[in-house]
Structure 1
Amino acid sequence: MPGLNETQQAAVREYGAVLAEPQRDVNAARTALHETSFSASATSEDILGKSEILSAAERRLAQTRFDAFRKLQSSPGKLNEQQAALLMQQGLPGRGNQGGGGGGGGGRAGGGPGGNQPFDAALRGRSEEMRKWRLSQPMDKFKQLRKMYEDAGVDIRLVKFGLGPAMSDDEVDYCFQVAKAMGARGITCEPPVSETRRLGEFATKHQLMIGYHGHSNVTSPESFGRPGSWEQAFYYSKYNGANIDIGHFAAGNSVPATEFIKRHADRITNLHLKDRKFNEGENMPWGQGDSQVREILQLMKREKYPFMATIELEYRVPEGSNVMTKLAKCVTFCREALA
């Protein structure tokens, strides 16, 4: 890292050395899960066992990272705010530079050396324009929007924002103010996992849940896909939650989301319902995949979970049919499951 004095450089090296072993454990556990998931002889129990080992390794890494950073910041080599942010952006030992989630290893926007500099400059200018616009908007506008929905009988549960590394602290704070003005119970977003510590601080400040959403990517440490990715976020704040797509969860982890939902029901903000096959399988008509849509709906009813579940129609509509016909079948499936 440029701009560090000798004391800071030594402190950062020590920080990296402390993280090296737990990061190796995570890498090994991730490889084992990947190999097991694609083994013809592996059972669901085998895959679940490997997934739990990976989750435990990731929790250990998150705890070690937290403790090591706190130690660094209480040492003579303490970093200033900009240096600390750069350390977080540059990734962890053994996994390479992950960038900021918006591109390659070039930092927040993924520009970096060799990037498209004119494009990056234009993007930064556009981001600054958006920041100024956001911060100039009165909350009364959003209160009016809330009333319009309420008058129509619509309850706003969640508001989605593009929270992430490219968004400044004052913009993040603005997003929470907007969500509260609209009467939402929480925010949903898809940031890199490494951003959840910062975002969790704002969620705690506003006492509003964030539902982190992901897909079926279980190989990237910055993607929400593995149970451990959400559990790492949970560690940082009790207001860090999960917006789980049960189809993507099943496809990526080769186990249904049922047990994860049971274990973390107090952190679930909402569910997306679809039915995919294990091992990155296709979206299927409901009841033909491995996502346990029926069982999860019945679990929600039995346990009286307060979060909502929404239908996502993503399987291929056959020739001769149409989206509305298939959507009606999904609604019927839900009604029969909950009868």
Structure 2
Amino acid sequence: SEEAAERMAPFAEKHDKYVIFHNHGQPGDPNFSFDRVLAFGPKLMLNLDIGHYYGATGKNPADVIERLHDRIISLHIKDKTGPDATEPNSNRPFGEGGTPIGDVLKVIQKNGWPIIGDIELEYKVPEGSDPVAEVKKCFEYCKGLLK
């Protein structure tokens, strides 16, 4: 929140540490702005959750990354349905939602930005599988998008 950013910014500056904000559905609020949160200080950064962003807005998170790449430390990567889907804002196995994961990975790769990506396994693990196998599938899916 902007209130948290305003409170935390002086401490981040004083101690030369980053404060990293993580989004959930806030970008879906028309009054929310990453820019206003980050404007409180240069030590305020983002952990952009591309799945939550897409699920809340239906917009391509690659556009946010292009604009704010120097303020993004890391990404949470997951696939979700958009806000207008039959089951809106729902976690899906990679490739079954609408999150434009490929656009995100390609814009980072093309520009060589040092943004860390974390696969966030939030969909229900299918019977007969396990979380490790599912993360491997997600990773392979992401690798395939970069070929």
- Shared fold per TM-score greater than 0.5: yes
Shift of 1:318: 1.9
Bigger RCO of structures 1 and 2 (CA < 8 A, at least 6 apart): 2
| Aligned counterpart for 1:314 among listed residues 100, 122, 128 | 122
Provide the rounded CA distance (Å) in 2 between the counterparts of 1:292 and 1:314.
17
Q: Unpaired runs of 5+ in structure 2?
A: none
| Aligned counterpart for 1:292 among listed residues 93, 97, 100 | 100
| 1:198 matched residue in structure 2 | 7
**Residues 256, 290 of structure 1: 8 Å contact kept:** no
Provide the rounded CA distance (Å) in 1 between the counterparts of 2:72 and 2:40.
16
Provide the rounded CA distance (Å) in 2 between the counterparts of 1:212 and 1:203.
12
Shift of 1:321: 2.2
| 1:333 matched residue in structure 2 | 141
Bigger fraction of residues in helix = 1
Matches within 5 A, 1:74-153: none
Q: For residues 68-114 of structure 1, give each alpha carbon's deviation from its aligned partner in whole angstroms, at most 9, with x where no partner exists.
A: xxxxxxxxxxxxxxxxxxxxxxxxxxxxxxxxxxxxxxxxxxxxxxx
| 2:63 matched residue in structure 1 | 259
Q: Secondary structure of the residue that 2:39 maps to in structure 1? A: helix
Matches within 5 A, 1:27-46: none
Shift of 1:205: 2.3
Shift of 1:194: 0.7
Letter in structure 1 aligned against 2:80: R
Provide the rounded CA distance (Å) in 2 between the counterparts of 1:194 and 1:334.
36
Q: Secondary structure of the residue that 1:201 maps to in structure 2? A: helix
**Residues 209, 269 of structure 1: 8 Å contact kept:** no
Shift of 1:290: 1.8
Task: Name the CA shift for 1:316/1:208 in 2 (closer, same or farther; >3 Å).
Answer: same
TM-score for both structures, normalised by structure 2: 0.86
Aligned-residue Cα RMSD (Å) equals 1.9
Shift of 1:249: 0.4
**Residues 213, 245 of structure 1: 8 Å contact kept:** yes
Residue 270 (1) aligns with residue 78 (2): no
Provide the rounded CA distance (Å) in 2 between the counterparts of 1:213 and 1:287.
23
Q: Unpaired runs of 5+ in structure 1?
A: 1-191
| 1:214 matched residue in structure 2 | 23
| 1:138 matched residue in structure 2 | none
| 2:54 matched residue in structure 1 | 250
**Residues 52, 89 of structure 2: 8 Å contact kept:** no
Paired positions, count: 142
Q: For residues 227-279 of structure 1, give each alpha carbon's deviation from its aligned partner in whole angstroms, at most 9, with x where no partner exists.
A: x1x21121111221111110000011121211011000010011000011111
